[in-house]
Amino acid sequence: MEAVRMAFYFGYGRQSAAQQGCSVLDSAFIRYFSLMFPDYTGNDVFEDKPFNIEITVDHDDCESYPNEDSSERYHLSVSAGQAALNAETVWGALRGLETFSQLVYQDDFGSYFVNKTEIDDFPSFQFRGILLDTSRHYLPVKDILKTLDAMAYSKFNVFHWHIVDDPSFPYQSQTFPDLSSKGAFHPMTHIYTQSDVRRVISHARLWGIRVVPEFDSPGHTKSWGKGQPDLLTPCYSGSTPSGAFGPVNPVLPSTYQFMASLFKEVSSVFPDSYVHLGGDEVDFSCWSSNPDVRAFMQKMGFGVDFTKLEAFYMENIVNITSALNKTVIVWQDVFDYHERIPKDTVLHIWKGIPASYKAELSRMTKAGMRVLLAAPWYINHISYGQDWRDYYNVKPLNFSGTEEQKKLVIGGEVCMWGEYVDATNLSPRLWPRASAAAERLWSDEKQTSSVGKAFPRLQDFRCKLVRRGIRAEPLYVGHCKHEYQGV
Q: Is 98 a catalytic residue?
A: no
355 binds its own copies (CB under 8 A): no
Q: What is the Cα–Cα distance from 458 to 386, expressed in whole angstroms?
A: 12
Question: 306-312 contacts: CB < 8 A, separation 24 or more?
Answer: 307/336, 307/337, 307/338, 308/337, 309/250, 310/218, 310/250, 310/279, 310/282, 310/284, 310/337, 310/338, 311/337, 311/338, 311/339, 311/340, 312/250
Instruction: Select from 60, 428, 459, 468 the one that contacts its own copies (CB under 8 A).
Output: 428
Nearer of residues 280 and 315 to its own copies, judged by Cβ = 280
User: Residue 230: which of 214, 245, 219 has the closest Cα?
Assistant: 245
460 binds its own copies (CB under 8 A): no
> Phi-psi region for residue 422, left (φ > 0), alpha (ψ -120 to 50) or beta?
beta
Write down the least CB distance from residue 228 to its own copies, Å.
21
* Segment interacting with its own copies (CB under 8 A) among 134-142, 202-210, 225-233, 327-335: 134-142
Q: Give the active site residue among 47, 281, 404, 483.
A: 281
343 binds its own copies (CB under 8 A): no
Instruction: Select from 66, 167, 183, 234 the one that contacts its own copies (CB under 8 A).
Output: 167
What are the φ and ψ backbone dihedral angles of 7, each rounded to 5 degrees? Answer: -75, 85
Strand partners, 162: 133, 214
477 binds its own copies (CB under 8 A): yes
User: Residue 325: which of 387, 365, 267 has the closest Cα?
Assistant: 267
Write down the least CB distance from residue 374 to its own copies, Å.
17
Q: What is the Cα–Cα distance from 213 to 265, expressed in whole angstroms?
A: 12
* Segment interacting with its own copies (CB under 8 A) among 28-36, 42-50, 199-207, 470-478: 470-478
Q: Is 189 exposed, middle or buried (0-12, 13-18, 19+ CB in 10 A)?
A: exposed
186 binds its own copies (CB under 8 A): yes
Instruction: Select from 5, 95, 128, 136 the one that contacts its own copies (CB under 8 A).
Output: 136
Nearer of residues 146 and 363 to its own copies, judged by Cβ = 146
Nearer of residues 80 and 477 to its own copies, judged by Cβ = 477
Site for its own copies in 359-388 (CB under 8 A): 380-385
Q: Which residues of this chain interact with its own copies, rule CB under 8 A?
A: 136-138, 140, 142-143, 146, 167-168, 185-186, 189-190, 380-385, 418-425, 427-428, 466, 471-479, 481, 483-487
